[in-house]
Each structure stands twice: as C-alpha cells, then as structure tokens.
Amino acid sequence: MIPDLQKENEFPLSLFLSGKNCKSYLFFGAHTISSKGTQYHCFRVWAPHARSVSLVGDFNRWDRSQTPMHAIGGGVWECCIPRLEQFAAYKYSIESRDGKIRMKADPYGAHYETRPATASKIYESSYEWKDDAWRKAKRQRNIYKSPVNVYEVHFNSWRTNPDGSFLDYRTFAKQMIPYLQKMSYTHIEFMPLTEYPYDGSWGYQVTGYFAPTSRFGTPDDFRAMVDAFHAAGIGVILDWVPAHFPKDEHGLFEFDGGCCYEYEDVRKGEHFAWGTKVFDYGRPEVCSFLISSACCWFEEFHVDGLRVDAVASMLYLDYDRPDGQWCPNKNGGRENLEAIDFLRHLNEAVFEKFPDALMIAEESTAWPMVTKPTCDGGLGFNFKWNMGWMNDMLRYMSMDPLFRSGNHDKLTFSFFYCFSENYVLPISHDEVVHGKCSMIGKMSGGYDQKFDSYRAFLGYMMAHPGKKLLFMGQEFAQMKEWDYQHQLDWMLLDYPKHNTMLKYTRKLNRFYAEHPPLWERDDSWDGFSWIANDDYQQSVIAFRRFDDKGEELIVVCNFVPVERREYRIGVPYKGSYKLLFNSDATEFGGSGAAEKAVKSEAIPMHGFDNSIALTLAPLSTMFFKPVPYKKRRSTKKSAPPKAAQK
C-alpha cells in the first residue's frame, strides 16, 4: 500500500457504499497517482463475493499470480503498480467462492479493445475542450422555450466508407455537421455508443458504461466529435441503458461469481425476452455505478443529454412477465419501488451538477409525472417520449383514408394530454425495423399518394405541441426498413420523389425553427387553441399555435385524398390570412391547389365573428398567419392567451 492511500480512500469508498458517489469513476478503474516522485497506476474494482482478485495483462503475461489485489473494505479490491503505457490491455482475474476463475473487463474501464477482443485498455485523456462558448450559451437558454428538432442516428449505418467500413468519430462529424446544418436540425441523438460487444444489439447491450465504443476511435476522438458538433451549434444526445445488461462472459454478469450487479431473484433479475439481466436498484453500490456513468458522460464527454432507454421496463415488476413469473413489491403492487427511487436519485444528481442537461425518458406507459420534479412526487426527467401520440398517428396514417372518419380520435386524442408532460414526438428507429417497414411504407395508397400523405403527416407533426425527433433516412423517405448492417440508401436521392422529399423536410425544419409559435409554448395550453377538432366526416382539423408575444399561426390539416373547395373555418381576426407553408405546394410535388392568401368574411363560425373559405388540397397540412402579423383583439369570447408560466 502506498502511504496515505488508505486515508484518501475512506471518503469516496464511503460514498460509493451508500449509493451517493456520483463520480465513482474517479475512484474505480485505473488512475495515475504519484508517490515520492514515482508514478503508479492504481486499480480498484468492486467484487464483494470474490475469494481473491488479481490484475492481469500484457505487462505480467496474464499471470494471476504476479499482481494480486488486496481488499480495502466494502468488497473493494485494490493494487498499485508502476505506471503502464497508454493502451496497455488488462483484466481482473476473479476467483469466486467455488474456486472458479473469471476473467472480467473493468466495469469502470475508460477504453476497451475492439470486438471480438474484450480486454480493458489504459487510457488517460489529453484532450483540450474548445466548447466554452457553446456551454455558456446553453446555460442561458430556456430549452422549454426553444426549438428542439432531433435527428436520431445509428452511427454504423448512417453512411460508411466506400469499402463498407465504418466512419471514425472525427470523419463522421465532418460529414454529418454540414448535413445537419443544411437540414436545420438542432440536436443529434446517437443510439448507444457506450462500449458493447455485439453489433446486432445496436448498442443496447452494454459492457462498458464509461467508455465510447472503440469501433470508431479513441475516447479523445469521441470528445473531438462532440466538440465539433458544439462548434457548429448542434447539441449531442446519447442513448443510455440503465435498464439491463448482457450475459457476455467478460461483462457485468455474475461478475464475482455471485449476483453482484443484478438481482438475485430471477423474477426480478432477468428480462427473458431480451436475454439480459436487470440491475439491482436496491444495492447502493449499483446505484453509485449507474449514476456515476450518467454524470461521466456529461462531465467527461460534454454530452448535452441522455435519452434513458426502456424506463417502463424498470418501473414495472411485471414488465413482459406473465403471472407467476414476477414478484409483487412490499405493498402488493407491481411497481418496482427501488427502481423508482433510483430514477429520482439519478435525475437529482444529474440536475444538481448539470442544471441545463436533457434527461429524456423513453417511457411507453401512462406512468404519471415523469417530467415533474422529484420534490412534487415526479420522476424528475425534463422530457418524455410521447409514445401514445406515435402509436395513434402511425395507425391512423396506415389505414385507408376511407376509414379515417371512424378513427378521428386517433388524430385528436393526444391533444387531451399533450401538456401533462414535457413531450418529445418520436419517430424513432423502433418504428422502421423488425417488419414494421419504413415511414413512407406505412402510408396508405399508391406510390404518389404515399408521398402526399407523408408530407402531410410531417407537417402535422411539426404543428403538434412537443419537441421533434426523426430517425435517419426518413427525411428523404427511405423505402425499405432500416438495416443496421448497411448504410442508408443515399442513391434514392437520384430519384425526383425522394430528392423532393428531402427538400420538403429541409424547408419544413427551417420553417419550424423560424416560427416561435411552433415551439415557445410547447408545454402549456396557453400555446394552443382549437378552431375545429370535430369534423370527423371529412377528416379535417384546424387549430392555433401561439408564442409568448401572442403572435400566432393557424394550422389546417386535411387527411383524405379529396380536395375541399370553400371549406370554411372560423378565424380570430378580421382581415387577410397568408399561406406561409403548404405541404401540397408544387415545389414539393403537390397539386398547389391552395390559395396564397384569403380574406375573412363576417360569417360567424367556430365561436368567432369571422371566418375564411379555403381550398383544402388533398392530403395536406397548411400554415397561415394573420396579416398584418401583429397582436389584435380576438373576436372570440375567450380571452387571448397569456404568457406561459414555468
């Protein structure tokens, strides 16, 4: 033992054992220390069931007898050796109580060998960040009142090198950044880039919770990529998986011969459908591990947000488990009380240190108050994927327009709850894989009609309250469903329909970014008001969106392939209404049937003294604004919207 090291260990070890060490990655793993002018690498690992632990690697010919570790309390083992070279490979050789030897990668490893190799590697960063201006601007931004338009990406398959090999982190940034800027996306969201062994898991079966995957470069290459996105004004969100982990031999599974990171009770500890293990959220050490992982990505890698995967599977003890294969909680309910506490502590820890972070829950049920503060009984996230909206709308758009009149509720129901949480509207990878087909493939009708429907849908999505997310390839109407083993079908841009679709998405994104009524009051009824939601027979809806100044846009959607002439809606002001954006415009491949501007008439309708008669293009979404575009007195009896209160 290096002198005074034991005393230095006491505080971080105590925090770790109590579940409150949110920087345990600074204590565990491999770290350089100095003593009397000599540098050492100090290794620490948590293995509470182990009989003995040794450090093995290239430096000692993988001989477990050469570098034994000693217990320092709380199931933690430690050793210090002369400082190793950068990229030196190592593992922990763990002797379990039954005498079996397990070779394990470092759970806190900063870098790993590229699969199929599985060892951890010494890595100490020398990167100098250059994103101070981005981080300062982000601290001053109110994300709830800002445009958020996310481009979701699977790193391997967005684009590859000509020989089919993967892009590296730095090259990816050089190619992606101009594309995102041209398309007016505000954020990029990566499917998991935490180290994982199997490509076919898409990154969702993690073995390295503190390291970017080595498939695409070093941790500093990852940092440089994030830095480049920030320099371009683009936020970075990373998918993060605290719900489960795989059974790979070198990973967390039965780490020291016993159930260390996972629940012992198989009724709580395994996702049978996924073939993975569930973290034991009742163990303080596991909570320290996971919360530290989340904080590490914000602190060490400067990501702007984490999309927390499979939250529903954490919240419910009976998630994907038939009767008899799950165990009720102490109150007889099906809620996982330990997981609920963990999620609250996770969000409290993240927001205490990173108040401008994005913590986004992929939660697919009606669990209440997901995005409410923990002090009010919420889970403490600041955004949640709106899976209900997604499911309803994809069913609606997939059905023959003839039957949409009988399913009008799928179009309008989301507006009843869209302000109960801070929502993201997700069209994610999950909707275009496993036989679900691409988004353009989901649209009803023939080839041309599919494009008309898809443009109308994306326009409606931009108009609906909530932040936006679209999976790669859907912006140009990829025809086949997503295949993680091949890059997107970029050759489709040689075809007019797909090239025009990309142009449409680009202009729609820009229109969204430039018009505050579409995002400034996403979380409040003050930013939304119906004009007409009950014309189910013609599958038409019309509503208003407001910004903080009271300026507004009027949105009219027609979801059947029928042109409606002289279609009348009530309007709040006497005057002209200018058509700003039309999904059916000729430049996007549409009919261009709608007028550029219409004047109101003193014909009462929908609770207003005035109305306008429109030509509704078939399968279209149209955006209008009053002219001149300034605040006026509404002729509707209800009061004009007030500024949103946070």
Q: List, by residue number, the catalytic residues.
A: 309, 362
Residues 6+ apart with CB under 8 A from 126: 220
Asked if 101 and 47 count as a contact pair (C-beta separation under 8 A), the reply is no
Amino acid at 50: A
In the chain, what is the straight-line distance between the N-terminal and C-terminal CA atoms, in Å? 54
Query: Which SS3 state, helix, strand or coil, does residue 308 take?
Result: strand
Query: Residues of 346-355 as b/e, b for ≥16 C-beta within 10 angstroms?
Result: bbbbbbeebe
Q: How far apart are CA 544 and CA 411, in angstroms?
A: 16
For residue 57, which phi and psi values (nearest 5 degrees)?
A: 175, -170
Token pair recorded at residue 622: 């149209």
CB distance 398 to 411 below 8 Å: no
From the list 614, 623, 552, the residue with the least C-alpha distance to 582 is 623
| Residue whose entry in the numeric block shows the structure tokens 């954006």 | 581
CB-count burial class (<10 Å; 0-12, 13-18, 19+) for 284: middle
Which tokens sit at 363? 């939660």
SS3 annotation, 166-186: ECCHHHHHHHHHHHHHHHCCC
Burial grade of 506 (CB within 10 A; 0-12, 13-18, 19 or more): middle
List, in order, residues 6 or more apart from 537 with CB less than 8 Å away.
Answer: 405
**Which SS3 state, helix, strand or coil, does residue 124 take?**
coil
Neighbours of 556 (CB within 10 A): 26
Q: Which residues contact 273 (CB under 8 A, 6 or more apart)?
A: 320
Question: Which DSSP symbol is given to 258?
Answer: S
Residues 560 and 564: their CA atoms lie apart, in Å, by 10
Of 448, 445, 429, nearest to 437 (Cα)? 429
Q: Pairing between strand 194-195 and 149-153?
A: unpaired
Cα gap 622→18, rounded to integer Å: 56
Structure tokens that stand for 99 in this block: 């005498």
The sign of the torsion formed by the CA atoms of 585, 586, 592, 597 equals positive
**Which regions of 288-353 does DSSP assign to beta strands (E)?**
305-308
Is the torsion defined by CA of 68, 73, 74, 78 positive or negative?
negative
Whole-number Å distance between alpha carbons of 557 and 50: 64
